[in-house]
Structure 1
Amino acid sequence: MTRMGYQEEHEAFRRTVRSFLDREHEPNLAHYEKIGGLDRDFWRKAGAAGLLGLAHTGGGDFTYYAIAAEELGRSAGSATTGSSLMADVATYILIGHGTDAQKEKYLPGILTGEWTQAMPLTEPGVGSDATAITATARREGDAYVINGEKYFISNGAGANLLYVVAKTDPSRGAKGMSVIIVEADTPGVSQAKIPMIGWRQGDTGAVNFADVRVPVSNLVGQEGGAMKILMATFLEDRIQIAARCLGAASRALELTLDYVKQRKVFGQRVIDFQNTQFVLADCRADIRITETMVDTAMMRLREKQFTFEDGAILKLWATQMEGRVLDRCVQLFGGAGLMDENPIARMWTAARIQRIYAGTDELQKVAIARGML
C-alpha cells in the first residue's frame, strides 16, 4: 500500500533498500559480530546500491533518508549493528553549508562509501546541552588547532570523515561554536569503540583530538555558525529516528504474530486468548498512529512547516511507542523472548537506547513545554 505523501519513486527506493538489507545485512550478522561491526565492504556495497549521499542524489528530498531509516529499523539485525547507514545524514551538512571545494573533494567518496561520516558533538560531561561543549578550535594563522574529547558518537569509531563541533570563540557561548571537517587519519585524532548493551556491534565511539591541525578552509559555513547548522540537522534527525522506531516496532509485531500463531499453551494457540488479541491490537494501533505522524512530518518538512517542537513531539512519541511495543512483544514470547539468539530479545534491548540517544525524553519534554510557555 502506498503511504500518504509518498510517490512511486519513493516506493521504488523502499524496495531497493529492502532488497539491499535482505541481501547484504541480515545474512551477514554472524560475520559482523565476529569482526566487531560493519566493514568497509558493506559501505562500498551500500554506495553501489545508491544508498549513500542521498542529500545529493535524492535532490535534497529527505524522504529518501526517512525510508532508509524505516527499512533499517525493520531489519531485525539493526538491533545488533545499530544506526549505521543513518550517519550518512551528515551529507546534508556538506550539501547545505559546505564550500564548492569541500563538495568536490568529499562527495565522490561519500557516494561510493570510501568516505564514511560522523558528527562529533557530544562530550563525556555534555549530552543534551550542546552549548556546554568544551572542545576548542584555536585559530593559528591559516589553521585551526583542535583539542577535546567527544563521546557517544554514532559511527564514531569507524568514520573517516568527521564534522567536528568545537568552540572557535569560547567567550561567545553558543555563538562561538563552529563545524570543522577533520579527516580521521589527521595526526592527533584517535578513535575507540564504546561497548553498548544494545547495538552490540554498532559503531558508537569516542573520538579524541590532541592538537589536531587542519586548514581554515575546512570550516563548514561561517565561523560561529554551528548552531544554525545543528538546528536544521536536529529537525531531520528527529524524523529519521522516528522512522527507525516505526520500522522496528512493525517488524517486532510481525515476528510476534508468527510466534503466537504457532505457540500453544493449555492446548490452544497463544493468539486465541483474548488477552493476546488485545495486546496485539494495542501494538497495531500504536504503529498506525506513528506511521501517520512520520508521514505527516515528512510532508511538513517538505513545506518547511516542521518545527523544533514538532520534532520533539515526534521523537518523544515514537521512541516511547517502540519501547511499549517491544515490551509487549517480549511478554508474549515469554521465556523465549529473553534468549539472546532470539531477534526479539535484541530488538527489545536496542529499543531502550532510543529514549536516551540523540536527545533524552526529558529534553524533548523541555522543548515541548517551552513551546507552550
Structure 2
Amino acid sequence: MARIGYSDEHEQFRRTARAFFDREHEPQLKKFEAAGGIDKDFWRRAGQAGLLGACIPEEYGGAGGDFTFNVILAEELGRTPGSATTGSSLMADIATYILVLHGDDAQKQRYLPGILAGEISQAMPLTEPDAGSDATAIKTTAIRDGDDYVISGEKYFISNGAGADVLYVVAKTDPSQRGRGMSVIIVDADTPGVARHKIPMMGWAHGDTGALSFDDVRVPVSNLIGREGMAMKILMDTFLEDRLQIAGRCLGAASAALDLTLAYVKSRMVSGQRVFDFQNTQFVLAECRTDIAVTESFLDSCVVKFRDKALSFDEGAMLKLWATEMEGRVLDKCVQLFGGAGLMDENPISRMYTAARIQRVYAGTSELQKVAIAKGLEALA
C-alpha cells in the first residue's frame, strides 16, 4: 500500500538508507560479530552516506530536516535482519535533537560537525540500577565546584553507552528538588573518572548496551545543556520522538520477518506440498500481513501529527504499545512456521525473534505505556 505523509525527499532518503544497510551492514555482519559490535568505520560511512544528523540546521552544515528522516532510518534498520545482532546503533542519533533544540552555539559548533561526519557518536545516560521508570529517582549528582561540575554516580542499560564519544548525562544538580533539580550535562567519554563496559543481553548479542560509572568526573559548567533543572523538559521533548523511531524499527523488523517467512514456506516441502499450501499457514501469514498494514498506517498518521505538533503524549504511548506488541506477535508466528529451522541461531529469524522481546521493555515497558494511555482517558472523563 502507498505510504502517506512522505515527500519525494523522504523516499529518496529511504532508498539511500536501504542501499547503505544492504551494502555496509549485512555483508559485514560476521566481521561485526567477531569484533563484538559495529565499529567506528561504520559510523563514518553512515556519515558519508548522509544518514546522520538529519535535523542539524543548515548553518551548522546539516540539511535541517524533520524527524521523519529518523523514523525512516529506524524502519530501514529494523528491516535489516542483522540489526537483531548489532542492536540499536544508528538509532542513537536521536540524541542529536537534544543538542540542536537545547544546546548553545558553542556546544553546537564543537560537536555537530563531528556528528554529521560520523566521527562522534552519542548516548544519553539516564537510567540507573535503581531508577528506570521513575527518572526522578536517579541518584547521580553533579555538584558545582567553582567553574566545574563534579559528577558522581552509576548509569545502567544505556543504549550506545560503552562506545559513544559524547555522553548527555542526566544528573541532579540540586538533589533536594527531585525532578526539578535534574540537569543534562555534556561529558566527553574520555574524561578522567568515566568508566564503562558492555552489558551482555538476551537479544542484540553484539549491540552496545552499556553500564557507566562516574567517579568525581569534573567538567566545565559550560557543558550544561540549557539551564539547571531543565532535564525533565528536555526528556519530555524526546519521548515522542523515541516512540516514533521505536515503532519504525518494529515495523521494519516485522516486515522483514514476513518476507523471510514467505520465502521459506514457499520452498519448504512437507508431505509432498509446500508449507505455504496449508490453509493454516495462509491464515497465519494473513494475520501477520494485516498486523503490519495496521501498524504502517498508525505510524504514518502519527508521523504526520508529530510534524504538525498535534501528536499527544498518550497517542505516542499507544503507538509504542501497539508496535512493540505487534512485532512480538508477528515474530512468534514466523518462528513457528519455520519450525525447528527457526530455532537455530544461524537463522536470522531466530535472532530477530529474541531481539523483538527487547522492544516491550526498552524505553518504557508496555505496562508504562498503558499507564500513560489511562491518564489520557482520565483527562477525557
Q: Normalising by structure 1, report the TM-score.
A: 0.99
The one-letter code of the counterpart of 2:161 is G
Structure 1 residue 60, shift from structure 2 partner: 4.2
Give the structure 1 partner of residue 214 of structure 2.
209
Do the aligned residues in 2 keep the contact of 1:2 with 1:11 (CA within 8 Å)?
Answer: no
Do the aligned residues in 2 keep the contact of 1:144 with 1:216 (CA within 8 Å)?
Answer: yes
CA distance in structure 2 between the aligned counterparts of 1:307 and 1:191, rounded to whole angstroms? 36
CA distance in structure 1 between the aligned counterparts of 2:166 and 2:19, rounded to whole angstroms? 27
Instruction: Describe the superposition over 1:25-53 as per-residue Cα deviations: whole angstroms up to 9, x where unpaired.
Output: 00001000101001111011011011111
Select 1:97's aligned residue among 92, 95, 102: 102
CA distance in structure 1 between the aligned counterparts of 2:231 and 2:131, rounded to whole angstroms? 16
Structure 1 residue 67, shift from structure 2 partner: 0.3
The one-letter code of the counterpart of 2:114 is G
2:63 is the counterpart of 1:62: no
Give the structure 1 partner of residue 22 of structure 2.
22
Give the structure 1 partner of residue 240 of structure 2.
235
Structure 1 residue 262, shift from structure 2 partner: 0.6
Gaps of 5+ in 1: none
Select 1:117's aligned residue among 104, 116, 122: 122
Gaps of 5+ in 2: 57-61
RMSD of the TM alignment (CA)? Answer: 0.8
Provide the identity percentage: 72
The one-letter code of the counterpart of 1:17 is A
CA distance in structure 1 between the aligned counterparts of 2:266 and 2:306, rounded to whole angstroms? 40
Do the aligned residues in 2 keep the contact of 1:58 with 1:64 (CA within 8 Å)?
Answer: no
Select 1:279's aligned residue among 271, 274, 284: 284
Do the aligned residues in 2 keep the contact of 1:123 with 1:152 (CA within 8 Å)?
Answer: yes
CA distance in structure 1 between the aligned counterparts of 2:233 and 2:308, rounded to whole angstroms? 19
Q: Normalising by structure 2, report the TM-score.
A: 0.97
Structure 1 residue 2, shift from structure 2 partner: 4.7
Structure 1 residue 135, shift from structure 2 partner: 0.5
Instruction: Describe the superposition over 1:136-166 as per-residue Cα deviations: whole angstroms up to 9, x where unpaired.
Output: 0001111100001000000000001000000
CA distance in structure 2 between the aligned counterparts of 1:16 and 1:130, rounded to whole angstroms? 36
Change in Cα spacing, 1:58 to 1:246, as seen in structure 2 (3 Å) is farther
Secondary structure, aligned partner of 1:55: coil
Instruction: Describe the superposition over 1:269-291 as per-residue Cα deviations: whole angstroms up to 9, x where unpaired.
Output: 11101100000000000000000
The one-letter code of the counterpart of 1:24 is E
Secondary structure, aligned partner of 1:54: coil
Give the structure 1 partner of residue 86 of structure 2.
81
Select 1:182's aligned residue among 182, 187, 206: 187
Q: After the TM superposition, list the runs of 4 or more consecutive aligned residues in structure 1 that deviate by more than 4 angstroms.
A: none
Secondary structure, aligned partner of 1:206: strand
Instruction: Describe the superposition over 1:96-130 as per-residue Cα deviations: whole angstroms up to 9, x where unpaired.
Output: 00000000000011111111000000001111111
Do the aligned residues in 2 keep the contact of 1:55 with 1:89 (CA within 8 Å)?
Answer: no
